[in-house]
């Protein structure tokens, strides 16, 4: 079965594409940026900004039967300041789901965020209401989860929504928590 990974050029995407390929999966890596120097043997690469959800899969790679979508594409540039930019991220996944439902899409995996809970502390679990106000990013991730969950129940297509709290490792942007903290500790 084909696994389509959006945001394949990003921090998580690069690692997931490599792992899927190493495990023998057929992978289509999709991103809006060129894959310079990051080509993994056996992976097909495709440039798409996903504005037109029909361009998710190129004509020469139409899946035979079912395919899974690992949706990692997300514009993080204004995650704390722009509800408009973040709302467009919700719309992007909605467009993909609308376009590909009934055309082989058999499973969706997407990451949420701890920011979906706002400033809530203590033990967090599914069903816990967020502490308002949410950042634009937290609001958009929460809205995307609600939309994708509703779509999954209506379509019967499986959804796995992950909420990683801290992710770090090779290739992570220096502005994120762990690289920033290490840099600050090293420079006093």
2-186 folds as Rossmann fold (3.40.50)
Q: pLDDT at position 182, please?
A: 60
Q: pLDDT at position 173, please?
A: 60
| Strand order across the beta sheet in which 158-162 lies | 44-47, 26-31, 2-6, 67-71, 105-111, 158-162
Q: pLDDT at position 69, please?
A: 98
Task: For residues 64 and 97, give the distance between their C-alpha atoms in angstroms, rounded to a whole number.
Answer: 18
Share of the chain above pLDDT 70, in %: 82
Q: Tell me the pLDDT tens digit for each residue of 76-112.
A: 888 889 999 999 999 999 999 999 999 999 999 999 9
Q: CB–CB of 56/99 below 8 Å? A: yes
Beta-bridge partners for 4: 28, 69
Task: For residues 146 and 152, give the distance between their C-alpha atoms in angstroms, rounded to a whole number.
Answer: 10
Domain boundaries, the chain: 2-186
Task: For residues 71 and 91, give the distance between their C-alpha atoms in angstroms, rounded to a whole number.
Answer: 13
**Global confidence as pTM:** 0.86
Q: Tell me the pLDDT tens digit for each residue of 105-156.
A: 999 999 998 888 877 676 667 777 777 788 999 999 999 999 999 999 999 9
């Amino acid at each position: 079965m084909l696994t389509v990974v959006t945001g394949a050029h990003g921090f998580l995407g690069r690692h997931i594409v490599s792992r899927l390929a190493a495990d023998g999966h057929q992978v289509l890596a999709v991103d809006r940026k060129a894959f310079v120097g990051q080509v993994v043997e056996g992976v097909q690469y495709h440039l798409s900004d996903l504005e037109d959800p029909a361009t998710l899969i190129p004509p020469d790679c139409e899946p035979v039967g079912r395919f899974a979508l690992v949706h990692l594409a997300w514009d993080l540039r204004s995650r704390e300041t722009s509800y408009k930019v973040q709302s467009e991220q919700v719309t992007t996944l909605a467009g993909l789901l609308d376009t590909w439902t009934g055309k082989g899409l058999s499973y969706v995996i997407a990451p949420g965020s701890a920011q979906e809970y706002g400033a809530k502390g203590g033990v967090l679990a599914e069903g816990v209401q967020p502490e308002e106000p949410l950042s634009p990013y937290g609001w958009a991730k929460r809205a995307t989860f609600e939309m994708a969950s509703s779509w999954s129940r209506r379509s019967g297509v499986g959804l796995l929504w992950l909420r990683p709290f801290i992710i770090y490792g090779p290739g992570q942007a220096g502005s994120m928590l762990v690289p920033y903290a290490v840099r600050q500790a090293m420079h006093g």
